[in-house]
């Protein structure tokens, strides 16, 4: 008999959401393993200056646990982390959390019909495994020599002990994190050297302080917050039309071009900051202060990648050499090169990484053929450029809890998605992606895996995602009953 009915890996938004839904379904025999000393996931790890969400606050929360107290239209890191902590406490999740425990290996036992899991604090077993480690977890370090003499750190591991005031700082990368922390540090440093391999589209951010009167209304009239969430969802979904119809996105792109023109007056700098691809091919960025910061007198934009770092110098791919005191890496995350994939094994000893061969895939982004009772949250082919990760997560949790409650109620020992079902789904995803801006926009992005395949994006509407991913259909799965195993 397994030690636990369910084992959840990770105590970020995914793991906390899974724990809440398990409790709501009456499943209490579970633990959540978290290798860090606190919950929060992405919002625990990323503490860089200016860190905030790029999805409206009312939409960036569990639908069953709205927060009427957001102080900004787009919440900052500290508020989001506090929201996750308070929600975990409110819904009784905390007693199930095991901090400082890292999952080292998980192997499916066909004979025992459970997962055998090795951790940093011993071994345990569970009938089902839910992974909630997410794609924004492991920093992506550049594959160049990093023999730099001064402080060097990744934005997601910000070293707050390093004083930036009056220093010469190099920032490598211009993605979502850099767009937020560059404006925050630019006024402090003596000079900032921004290495931009590819120019990014940056749209205006409709952010603002939420007055206390509005927060009072949200607390007293829950329907008002539901309406705000619905309006924000509708607005983001309207933007989503452009991802599926590149001609529409090129019209929305005009807003980005106007934002750049009004913010950057130097024609040479503006040309360097103008992308050559269609908006939406890469992740859409939003900021009201990035362009003004980059146009400041103490900022130099280097439209090149970085070849190496040596001593106190950064060497650009164009041969330029710049002396700096501090290097900050804004180089993103291992979005599709998931570290957990090397730790989860099927009954034959084949890992997820072996199974995927560089191209992660899963049925409805959630289950993988040959890996029974395994549910991956925020998995492959579910990423959108326009909606909340919480919406995606909740659809997956509907699917996962539908499976787990069916197993409990019908006496099934295991379920495994049929290989043909998984293959057909992934084929339809790849076919639908061909006409989207992700594939036709003319860029190289982290949406593509090591084999050049888009393993990240969902090609349809989020409404369809909620309906399709949220439905558990037993016919899609090979099922083993408890009686069958006993015999």
* Per-residue pLDDT, 484: 61
Percentage above 70 pLDDT, the chain: 99
Report phi then psi at 180, rounded to 5: -90, -40
Report phi then psi at 147, rounded to 5: -85, 60
Cα dihedral 62, 283, 194, 311 sign: positive
Q: Is the pLDDT of residue 131 over 70?
A: yes
Closest CA to 179 of 44, 54, 269: 54
pTM, two decimal places: 0.95
* Per-residue pLDDT, 487: 46
pLDDT, tens only, 259-284: 999 999 999 999 999 999 999 999 99
Q: Residue 182 is inside which H or E element, if any?
A: helix 176-185
Closest CA to 127 of 405, 452, 460, 397: 405
Q: Is the pLDDT of residue 247 over 50?
A: yes
* Per-residue pLDDT, 485: 55
Out of 98-112, 126-140, 182-196, pick the least confident: 126-140
Burial 322-331 (b: 16+ CB within 10 A, else e): bebbbbbbbb
Out of 32-36, 61-65, 140-144, 287-291, pick the least confident: 140-144
Q: Is the pLDDT of residue 483 over 70?
A: no
33-37, 230-234, 383-387: which is most confident: 33-37
Q: Contacts from 267-271 at CB under 8 Å and sequence distance 24+?
A: 269/294, 269/295, 269/301
Reading the block at residue 268, the tokens are 């040479």
Mean pLDDT of the chain: 95
Out of 98-102, 135-139, 344-348, 451-455, pick the least confident: 135-139
Using pLDDT thresholds of 50, 70 and 90, give the confidence band for residue 75.
Answer: very high
Q: Is the pLDDT of residue 376 over 50?
A: yes
* Per-residue pLDDT, 65: 96
Q: Is the pLDDT of residue 9 over 60?
A: yes
Report the distance separating Cα 117 and Cα 97, nearest Å. Answer: 16
Region 211-232 average pLDDT: 93
* Per-residue pLDDT, 324: 97
Question: Under 8 Å CB-to-CB from 475, ≥6 apart: which residues?
Answer: none
* Per-residue pLDDT, 94: 97
Cα dihedral 59, 64, 65, 66 sign: positive
* Per-residue pLDDT, 76: 97
Q: Is the pLDDT of residue 16 over 90?
A: yes
The angle at the Cα of 134, spanning 102 to 362, to the nearest 5 degrees, equals 110
């Amino acid at each position: 008999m397994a030690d636990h009915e369910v084992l959840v890996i990770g105590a970020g938004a995914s793991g906390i959401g899974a724990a809440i839904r398990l409790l709501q379904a009456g499943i209490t025999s579970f633990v959540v393993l978290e290798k860090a000393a606190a919950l929060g996931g992405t919002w625990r790890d990323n503490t860089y200056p200016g860190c905030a969400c790029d999805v409206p606050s009312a939409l960036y929360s569990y639908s069953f646990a709205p927060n009427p107290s957001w102080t900004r239209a787009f919440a900052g890191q500290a508020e989001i982390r506090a929201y996750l902590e308070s929600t975990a406490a409110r819904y009784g999740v905390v007693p199930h959390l095991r901090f400082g425990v890292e999952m080292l290996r998980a192997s499916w036992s066909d004979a025992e019909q459970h997962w055998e899991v090795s951790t940093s604090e011993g071994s345990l077993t569970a009938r089902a495994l839910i992974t909630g480690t997410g794609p924004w977890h492991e920093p992506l370090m550049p594959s160049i020599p990093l023999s730099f003499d001064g402080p060097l750190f990744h934005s997601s591991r910000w070293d707050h002990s390093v004083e930036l005031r009056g220093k010469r700082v190099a920032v490598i990368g211009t993605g979502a994190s850099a767009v937020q922390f560059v404006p925050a540090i630019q006024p402090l440093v003596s000079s900032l050297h921004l290495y931009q391999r590819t120019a990014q589209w940056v749209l205006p951010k409709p952010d603002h302080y939420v007055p206390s009167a509005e927060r009072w209304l949200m607390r007293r009239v829950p329907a008002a917050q539901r309406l705000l969430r619905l309006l924000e969802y509708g607005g983001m979904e309207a933007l989503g039309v452009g991802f599926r119809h590149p001609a529409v996105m090129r019209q929305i792109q005009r807003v980005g071009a106007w934002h750049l023109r009004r913010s950057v007056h130097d024609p040479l700098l503006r040309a360097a900051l103008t992308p050559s691809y269609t908006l939406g091919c890469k992740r859409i960025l939003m900021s009201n202060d990035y362009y003004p910061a980059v146009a400041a007198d103490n900022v130099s934009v280097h439209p090149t990648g970085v070849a190496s770092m040596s001593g106190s110098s950064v060497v650009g791919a164009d041969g330029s050499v710049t002396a700096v005191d501090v290097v900050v890496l804004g180089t993103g995350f291992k979005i599709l090169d998931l570290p957990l994939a090397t730790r989860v094994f099927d009954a034959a000893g084949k890992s997820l990484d072996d199974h995927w061969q560089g191209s992660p895939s899963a049925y409805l982004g959630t289950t993988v053929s040959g890996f029974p009772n395994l549910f991956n949250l925020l998995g492959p082919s579910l990423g959108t450029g326009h909606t909340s990760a919480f919406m995606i997560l909740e659809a997956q949790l509907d699917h996962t809890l539908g499976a787990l409650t069916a197993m409990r109620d019908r006496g099934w020992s295991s379920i495994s998605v049929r290989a043909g079902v998984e293959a057909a789904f992934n084929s339809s995803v790849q076919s639908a992606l061909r006409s989207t801006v992700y594939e036709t926009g003319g860029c190289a992005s982290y949406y593509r895996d090591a084999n050049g395949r888009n393993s990240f994006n969902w090609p349809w509407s989020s409404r369809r995602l909620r309906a399709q991913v949220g439905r558990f259909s037993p016919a899609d799965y090979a099922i083993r009953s408890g009686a069958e195993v006993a015999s």
